[in-house]
């Protein structure tokens, strides 16, 4: 099915008690709570693996003068030490997947320089520490701030880096009310709990070599293509298996160096090789979210109607890489204004490779933009919700097409009512003991893409149904929602659905990323089930008109058959495919939401504590109320981290992240997360996909941190424009204010 027109009535509609949407427990939950779900490093399918350990460059720019591996090679248990001198020939880089150990040039700290393989993990680790590198060191460029004047226009990603409409400069110059502010966001780290890990097994064969990787990867078919390119194999000879994935958040969208190195080592050793990055290596060897500098200019009339919007963003990645943070893309569709400008610039620095992290673009874009809106509201003495309502566009202001659905205003109103927004005090006016208390809100918006995806289903002779596709579940609940969709379509109870995903041996699927996973893979499954329904009706000679599938039977007119009987001795198979189509161009498709936060700021120490938080979201049809809520809460808590604690600090002299472990890079812990809740407004989006659903995994992080920052302003009157908002910045703000007051007297 090509998504060329709106979807009419479907078998999923009008079933308030149906399987789809029901808050059932995860079908893979039992395996997870008993410790029996095998993650990549834990597979038993590849026997007798050797252990790999990666060695990182200790400088950010320069050349390897010498690499002494003699001691490592002699160390007990060592089977192989791979460096640029003996690494097998590799193919072309593909996207952000690079051939490894290429020559002596070092472009960033943490670039792999050797791979040591031994009989045991302890031996590999000890031998890796014996590798001695000497470098000709050059001074790295690692500061985005310093590189900003020379940043360049990047190659277009999904959309062009720049956009312009009307006459921004003229409108801004003549606007009665203007705002011109700069926000900065730091490097953030995915910090998914399962480090990148692979067990690779290379086999030479008559029709070409093949490699199997049990690996932690979100998008298996994309990984298959890129690994095939780098490893110089036919894509069909590269098999990726990823049944359980310990979180991704973008870090596992593409294979990382450990996958390539273990595959090459397995080729040399003719034996499976397993490797996991250490937590410390995660920070430099794998990707991160770049820091950004964002300038926002708003021009408005006295009533708060925006006449001019400009959002510019600067970001950085490693030399030769083209990834840039699309911070301002969401601004193109969020609020109305006649005159608009967005611009992205990129600096190639001696820093590790930047890539997508949960809601790339929007997450940090809205950290800045939604605070700028709060600043404008404060300036105009208009309620921040009212300001947003006054700038609600009738259609996408840049694409000039209608929104498929847009319930931003409804989300803000519902949230305001539930949260008690009317109790919000004037700036700096609310105190609870030692705590200065404030409330803040922010809007949330995230693009809803659809990706090509395929699915296979098979009705088995015993009346069960097997679903197969190279889809992944990174904690998003994919196993469960696929079973719910298939169960509802075929009228089978959840126990009779077997979901088999996580293997490129199955039909090509979208994978998990960019909020497209459930909608794309679920739609492919919907189409496959629809085809299976037609096939069954046809072979049974039953009338498709008015046929219903329920309780394991198909009924049409006065005939009713058990599916198990129709399956026959061989079973019946069907395939399905979804592709994006004209709906993508004819409608602007986004998930929307609104965040509300209440914080306390310690009046003496400046410590900021979140007290409560609420998110109200729309994401089309909700496929499982329980897992959807979990995902939304997870995104909001990522927002807490972004607002209050997360920052990988770059030592710009050496181009590395100083706090590269989980003790020093702070993510929210239990004690940081008070009572928070997420709710969904009813919605169906018939322009999005046949499920009428939209993505949920990312809209919930968008704007979340800004709501906290705005609450800090409401509590203290301090506008901190440099994330994260830590107590030292609060105290600096107070000191500045005091100094200014003294200067006045």
Partner 1 sequence: MGSCAALATLGASLRGRAEAAPAAVDPQPQTMPVSLEINGTRHDLTLDTRTTLLDALREHLDLNGSKKGCDHGQCGACTVLVNGRRINSCLSLAVMHEGDSVTTIEGLADGDSLHPLQAAFLHHDGYQCGYCTPGQICSAAGMLSEVEAGWPSHVTDDLTRKASLTDEEIRERMSGNICRCSAYPNIVAAIRDASTKI
Q: According to CB under 8 A, which residues from 567 to 606 bind partner 1?
A: none
Q: According to CB under 8 A, which residues from 133 to 192 bind partner 1?
A: 133-137, 190-192
Q: Which of 55, 144, 261, 481 binds partner 1 (CB under 8 A)?
A: 55
By CB under 6 A, tell whether 193 contacts ligand FES.
yes
Stretch that binds partner 1, among 127-135, 493-501, 514-522, 536-544 (CB under 8 A): 127-135
Tokens for 146, please give them.
């310093």
- DSSP category for residue 41: G
Q: How far is the CB of 247 from ligand FES (least distance, A)?
A: 5
Q: According to CB under 6 A, which residues from 303 to 322 bind ligand FES?
A: none
Residue 131 contact among partner 1, ligand FES, none, beta carbon within 5 to 8 Å by kind: partner 1
Residue 161 contact among partner 1, ligand FES, none, beta carbon within 5 to 8 Å by kind: none
Burial class (CB in 10 A: 0-12, 13-18, 19+), 407: buried
Q: Which residues contact 51 (CB under 8 A, 6 or more apart)?
A: 117, 118, 119, 120, 121, 123, 124, 273, 274, 275
Binding-site size, ligand FES (CB under 6 A) = 3
692: nearest Cα among 682, 680, 702: 682
By CB under 8 A, tell whether 38 contacts partner 1.
yes
Please identify, using beta-carbon distances, which residue of 36 and 155 lies nearer to ligand FES: 36
By CB under 6 A, tell whether 635 contacts ligand FES.
no
By CB under 6 A, tell whether 505 contacts ligand FES.
no
90: nearest Cα among 81, 100, 82: 100
By CB under 8 A, tell whether 39 contacts partner 1.
yes
Q: Which of 18, 77, 235, 247 binds ligand FES (CB under 6 A)?
A: 247
Tokens for 354, please give them.
């930047």
By CB under 8 A, tell whether 426 contacts partner 1.
no
Tokens for 55, please give them.
């060695």
By CB under 6 A, tell whether 552 contacts ligand FES.
no
By CB under 8 A, tell whether 495 contacts partner 1.
no
Structural contact between residues 131 and 64, judged by C-beta atoms closer than 8 angstroms: no
By CB under 8 A, tell whether 550 contacts partner 1.
no
Tokens for 109, please give them.
């700290």
Q: Is 698 a catalytic residue?
A: yes
Q: Which residues contact 717 (CB under 8 A, 6 or more apart)?
A: 427, 428, 737
By CB under 8 A, tell whether 671 contacts partner 1.
yes
Q: How far is the CB of 356 from ligand FES (least distance, A)?
A: 18
By CB under 8 A, tell whether 34 contacts partner 1.
yes
By CB under 6 A, tell whether 475 contacts ligand FES.
yes
Q: How far is the CB of 200 from ligand FES (least distance, A)?
A: 23
**Residue 128 — left, alpha, or beta (φ > 0 → left; ψ -120 to 50 → alpha)?**
alpha
Q: How far is the CB of 512 from ligand FES (least distance, A)?
A: 13
Q: How far is the CB of 319 from ligand FES (least distance, A)?
A: 33
Residue 42 contact among ligand FES, partner 1, none, beta carbon within 5 to 8 Å by kind: partner 1
Q: How far is the CB of 246 from ligand FES (least distance, A)?
A: 6
Q: How far is the CB of 13 from partner 1 (least distance, A)?
A: 26
Binding-site size, partner 1 (CB under 8 A) = 91
Structural contact between residues 241 and 215, judged by C-beta atoms closer than 8 angstroms: yes
Give percent helix, percent strand, percent coil of the chain, each to the nearest 5: 30, 25, 45
Q: In the sheet that 435-447 helps form, which strands lie side by side, from edge to edge?
A: 430-432, 435-447, 590-602, 608-618, 676-680
Q: Which residues contact 490 (CB under 8 A, 6 or more apart)?
A: 459, 465, 529, 532, 533, 549, 563
Q: How far is the CB of 193 from ligand FES (least distance, A)?
A: 4
Please identify, using beta-carbon distances, which residue of 247 and 571 lies nearer to ligand FES: 247
Q: According to CB under 6 A, which residues from 512 to 531 bind ligand FES?
A: none
Q: How far is the CB of 116 from partner 1 (least distance, A)?
A: 10
Q: How far is CA 601 from the centre of its chain?
A: 30
By CB under 8 A, tell whether 259 contacts partner 1.
no
Q: According to CB under 8 A, which residues from 337 to 366 bind partner 1?
A: none
Stretch that binds partner 1, among 151-159, 217-225, 296-304, 667-675 (CB under 8 A): 667-675
Q: According to CB under 8 A, which residues from 96 to 115 bind partner 1?
A: 109
Please identify, using beta-carbon distances, which residue of 83 and 192 lies nearer to ligand FES: 192
Q: Rounded distance, CA 656 to CA 744, Å?
A: 43
Structural contact between residues 261 and 215, judged by C-beta atoms closer than 8 angstroms: no
Structural contact between residues 328 and 344, judged by C-beta atoms closer than 8 angstroms: yes
Tokens for 676, please give them.
């928070």
By CB under 6 A, tell whether 173 contacts ligand FES.
no
By CB under 6 A, tell whether 195 contacts ligand FES.
no
Peptide bond into 334 cis (omega under 30): no
Residue 373 contact among ligand FES, partner 1, none, beta carbon within 5 to 8 Å by kind: none
Task: Give alpha helix (H) positions in 359-407.
Answer: 362-380, 384-390
Q: Angle at CA 715, nearest 5°, toward 662 and 306?
A: 100
By CB under 8 A, tell whether 612 contacts partner 1.
no
Q: Rounded distance, CA 456 to CA 470, Å?
A: 10
Q: Contact residues for ligand FES (CB under 6 A)?
A: 193, 247, 475
Enumerate the active-site residues.
698
């Amino acid at each position: 099915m090509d998504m060329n027109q709106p979807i009419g009535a479907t078998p999923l509609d009008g079933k308030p008690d149906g399987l789809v949407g029901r808050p059932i427990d995860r079908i893979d939950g039992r395996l997870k709570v008993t410790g029996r779900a095998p993650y990549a490093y834990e597979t038993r399918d590849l026997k007798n693996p050797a252990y790999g350990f990666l060695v990182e460059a200790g400088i950010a720019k320069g050349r390897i003068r010498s690499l002494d591996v003699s001691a490592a090679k002699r160390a007990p248990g060592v089977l192989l030490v791979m460096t640029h001198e003996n690494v097998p020939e590799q193919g072309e880089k593909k996207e952000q997947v690079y051939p490894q150990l290429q020559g002596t040039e070092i472009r960033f700290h943490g670039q792999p320089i050797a791979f040591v393989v031994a009989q045991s993990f302890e031996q590999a680790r000890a031998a890796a520490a014996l590798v001695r590198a000497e470098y000709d060191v050059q001074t790295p460029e690692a500061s985005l701030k310093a590189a900003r004047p020379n940043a360049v226009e990047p190659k277009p990603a999904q959309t062009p880096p720049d956009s312009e409409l009307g006459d921004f400069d003229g409108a801004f110059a003549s606007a009665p009310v203007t705002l011109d502010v700069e926000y900065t966001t730091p490097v953030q780290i995915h910090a998914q709990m399962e480090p990148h890990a692979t067990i690779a097994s290379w086999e030479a064969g008559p029709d070409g070599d093949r490699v199997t990787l049990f690996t932690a990867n979100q998008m298996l078919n994309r990984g298959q293509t890129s690994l095939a390119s780098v490893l110089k194999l036919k894509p069909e000879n590269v098999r990726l298996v990823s049944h359980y994935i310990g979180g991704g958040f973008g870090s596992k969208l593409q294979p990382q160096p450990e996958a390539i190195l273990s595959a090459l080592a397995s080729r040399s050793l003719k034996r499976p090789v397993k490797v996991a990055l250490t937590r410390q290596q995660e920070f430099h060897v794998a990707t991160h979210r770049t820091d950004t500098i964002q300038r926002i200019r708003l021009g408005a009339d006295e009533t708060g109607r925006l006449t001019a919007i400009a959002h510019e963003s600067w970001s950085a990645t490693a030399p030769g890489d083209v990834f840039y943070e699309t911070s301002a893309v969401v601004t193109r569709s969020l609020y109305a204004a006649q005159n608009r400008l967005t611009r992205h610039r990129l600096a190639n620095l001696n820093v590790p490779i930047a890539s997508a992290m949960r809601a790339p673009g929007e997450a940090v874009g809205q950290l800045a933009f939604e605070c700028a809106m709060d600043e404008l509201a404060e300036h105009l003495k208009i309620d921040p919700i009212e300001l947003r309502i006054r700038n609600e566009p009738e259609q996408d202001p840049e694409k000039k097409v209608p929104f498929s659905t847009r319930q931003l205003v409804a989300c803000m109103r519902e949230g305001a009512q539930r949260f008690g927004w009317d109790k919000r005090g004037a700036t700096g006016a609310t105190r609870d003991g030692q705590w200065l208390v404030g409330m803040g809100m922010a809007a949330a918006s995230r693009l809803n893409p659809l990706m090509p995806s395929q699915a296979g289903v098979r009705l088995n002779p015993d009346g069960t149904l097997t679903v197969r596709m190279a889809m992944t579940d990174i904690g998003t609940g994919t196993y469960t929602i696929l079973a719910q969709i298939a169960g509802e379509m075929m009228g089978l109870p959840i126990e009779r659905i077997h979901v088999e995903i996580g293997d490129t041996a199955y039909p090509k699927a979208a994978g998990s990323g960019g909020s497209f996973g459930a909608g794309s893979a679920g739609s492919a499954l919907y189409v496959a089930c629809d085809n299976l329904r037609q096939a069954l009706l046809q072979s049974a000679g039953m009338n498709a008109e008015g046929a219903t599938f329920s309780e394991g039977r198909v009924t049409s007119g006065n005939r009713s058959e058990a599916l198990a009987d129709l399956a026959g001795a061989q079973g019946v198979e069907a395939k399905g495919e979804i592709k994006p189509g004209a709906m993508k161009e004819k409608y602007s498709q986004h998930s929307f939401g609104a965040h509300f936060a209440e914080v306390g700021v310690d009046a003496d120490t400046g410590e900021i504590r979140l007290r409560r938080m609420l998110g109200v979201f729309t994401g089309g049809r909700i496929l499982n109320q329980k897992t959807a809520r979990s995902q939304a809460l997870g995104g909001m808590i990522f927002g807490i981290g972004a607002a209050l604690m997360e920052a990988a600090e770059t030592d710009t002299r050496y181009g590395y992240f100083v706090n590269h472990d989980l003790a020093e890079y702070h993510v929210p812990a239990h004690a940081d997360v008070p009572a928070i809740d997420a709710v969904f407004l009813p919605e169906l989006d018939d322009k999005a996909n046949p499920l009428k659903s939209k993505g949920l995994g990312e809209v919930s992080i968008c704007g979340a941190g800004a709501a906290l920052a705005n609450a800090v302003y409401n509590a203290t009157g301090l506008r901190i424009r440099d994330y994260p908002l830590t107590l030292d910045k609060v105290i600096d703000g107070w000191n500045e204010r005091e100094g200014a007051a003294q200067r006045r007297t």
